[in-house]
Amino acid sequence: MLGNFGLVNEAARETAYQLVIAVNTTYTVAAQLYASIPGSQILYRYIKASYQDDPFRTLLEAGLILFMVWYFVAKRYQPGQRAEVELTEKEIQDLIDEWEPEPLTPKLTKFQTDELAKTPVFSSMAGLKVKSADGKERLNWASFNFLGIMNNEAIKEKAIAALRKYGVGSCGPPGFYGTLDVHVELEERIARFVGSEAAIIYAQGFACISSCIPAFAKRGDIIIADDAVSFAAQKGMQISRAQIKWFKHNDMGDLEKVLRKVQTDCAKKPLTRRFIVVEGLYINLGDICPFPELVALKNKYKYRLIVEESMSFGVLGPRGAGIADHFGIPSSEIDIMVASMSNALSSAGGFCAGSKEIVEHQRLSGLSYTFSASLPAILAVGAIEALNELETQPEVLGRLAENTNILKSKLQKIGGEFVLNVSSAPGSPVIHLQLQSGSNRQENDRILQEIVDLALKDGILVTRAKYVYNQEHNPPPPSIRIIVSAGFTAREVERCGVVICDAVKRVFKQYRLDSR
């Protein structure tokens, strides 16, 4: 047994000896091959020196070499080759049946659904009188047709002639083959009418003020605005990214308080551009800004004044030239005057009037002017002819004021008895009927809509003022908005007052019965 163990031991020694010889031979051959490679001695000395100086570096390099080898020999990853769960046809169908998509729009309330169902449909164009789908004619007290020229036959003929001459549209922005001779004429006429150095016209009324403000106010500038300014003006200030501060509606004491605070806070800061933004006649409330006091504060604190005159242009003043004309103050006190041409002029688009520098700056910086197709020639001609009517027949403003006074005298009778507030400044053709009760907004909307529906049945078209409440800075109270026009006869105005008063009485009578 011991002999066998000796034989095994002898065989193991022989195997180990042969293995050592093989390793030594392999090492010798490898060393000879390595030595035959050009530059191998340099690499050997580099590795030896780097290991002695920084052994961690050698380990790092060795690790990188191993990673490269693994990267090239590893299996390639294909993004499209994913381990997917195999579902049966029944499981797929169950998932489809369970899926419920999110609604594209919020679910309508019962009040909104009922309102949509009762929305009137008209078969005629807008004007002083409109014909509904049932064939009945209604007096239109909802459109901003202040001067009653919406369906003026002379203006129609001029517009048709312009259509045959220029075509439907300009097919280009003003700076790129979109400017026509009638555009230049309209700008000159507007500037002359309001008493400014120059004017520029925009193709969209809403985009006029929302492009004009960002053209001048930038990040770091300061805008102080009345908290009842229109939605379009709010969007313009928001787009400008300027610092916005608000003052209470038509409160000049609060405005001066804000002006003083800004003056104190910015005393040691770099000088920035500063603006005051107001409306001449407020569309959401029907009142007029205290322009003389506003001008005094603007000059005292050295601010630029931006006035949105979409409601006051063609309405206020002996000539209908706006808020400055109304108070007999030079229009130069308004640095930037902006107005829509879709109201008093019964056209479309808007304009900005001011100094030549103010106007020329917008030709490249007014985004809506630069990147939108210019106003169609037919609408420019319509606006020019409407200006002609206003200049040659100033008595239309007298008829507008007379109709306004007649209607207000009728509506004032329902104020105290039915807690209904008539919101409108003297001389303002924009009238809002607001509930004085403390009910919530939705309940007030429901009551006012019932009044609107009853008035429509009796031949008077008025509308409930509607707003995007979640985007308004200071949402106005619910109201019925009535727009007075110079085109109505005294008898038609009286009829409107009687119908609305009767509708209010019937709704409140029913409301009181329901609340018992």
The DSSP annotation for 326-387 comes to HHT--GGG-SEEEEESSSTTSS--EEEEE-HHHHHHHHHH-HHHHHSPPPPHHHHHHHHHHH
CA 313/CA 346 separation, integer angstroms: 12
Tell me what the mean pLDDT of segment 402-418 comes to: 81
Backbone angles phi, psi at 375, to 5 degrees: -60, 130
Cα dihedral angle (202, 341, 215, 297), rounded to 10 degrees?
160
pLDDT at 250: 95
Range name among 36-40, 65-69, 215-219, 309-313 with the lowest pLDDT average:
36-40
Confidence class for position 416, pLDDT limits 50, 70, 90 = low
Ordered domains of the chain (ranges, CATH): 110-149+395-515 (3.90.1150.10), 153-392 (3.40.640.10)
Strand partners, 129: 139
Q: Model confidence over 224-271: pLDDT tens digits?
A: 999 999 999 999 999 999 999 999 999 999 999 999 999 999 888 888
Q: Model confidence over 99-137: pLDDT tens digits?
A: 988 888 888 888 888 888 888 888 888 889 999 888 889
In this model, does residue 75 exceed pLDDT 80?
no
Tell me what the mean pLDDT of segment 55-83 comes to: 75
pTM recorded for the entire structure = 0.78
The DSSP annotation for 482-494 comes to EE--TTS-HHHHH
Q: Model confidence over 36-49: pLDDT tens digits?
A: 777 777 767 777 77
Tell me what the mean pLDDT of segment 206-213 comes to: 94
Helix locations, 37-135, DSSP H = 40-53, 55-73, 89-98, 110-117
Looking at per-residue pLDDT, the higher value among 67 and 439 belongs to: 67
Encode 323-339 in three state secondary structure: HHHHHCCCHHHCCEEEE
**Do the beta carbons of residue 139 and residue 496 sit within 8 Å?**
yes
Q: Model confidence over 374-389: pLDDT tens digits?
A: 999 999 999 999 999 9
Confidence class for position 438, pLDDT limits 50, 70, 90 = low
Q: Model confidence over 351-375: pLDDT tens digits?
A: 999 999 999 999 999 999 999 999 9
Confidence class for position 516, pLDDT limits 50, 70, 90 = very low
CA 201/CA 350 separation, integer angstroms: 6
In this model, does residue 58 exceed pLDDT 80?
no
Angle between helix 231-240 and helix 205-216 axes, rounded to 10 deg: 30
Long-range CB pairs of 228-231, under 8 A, 24+ apart, other chains included = 228/279, 228/282, 228/284, 228/285, 228/474, 228/476, 229/277, 229/278, 229/279, 229/282, 229/308, 230/279, 230/282, 230/283, 230/284, 230/308, 230/310, 231/467, 231/468, 231/471, 231/472
Counting residues of the chain whose pLDDT is more than 70, the rounded percentage is 92
Name the token pair of 306. Answer: 């931006």
Counting residues of the chain whose pLDDT is more than 90, the rounded percentage is 61
The distance of Cα 443 from the centroid of its chain, to the nearest Å, equals 28
Question: Cα separations (Å) of 259 from 219, 300, 308?
Answer: 19, 10, 20
In this model, does residue 292 exceed pLDDT 80?
yes
Tell me what the mean pLDDT of segment 336-350 comes to: 95
**CB-based contacts of 462, cutoff 8 Å, min separation 6:** 141, 142, 452, 455, 456, 480, 481, 482, 500
- Residue 362 amino acid letter: Q
Average pLDDT, the chain: 88
Tell me what the mean pLDDT of segment 277-296 comes to: 96
Range name among 30-34, 96-100, 113-117, 319-323 with the lowest pLDDT average:
30-34
Helix locations, 222-289, DSSP H = 231-240, 252-265
Question: Whose structure tokens read 């020999």?
Answer: 73
Range name among 4-18, 315-329, 454-468 with the lowest pLDDT average:
4-18
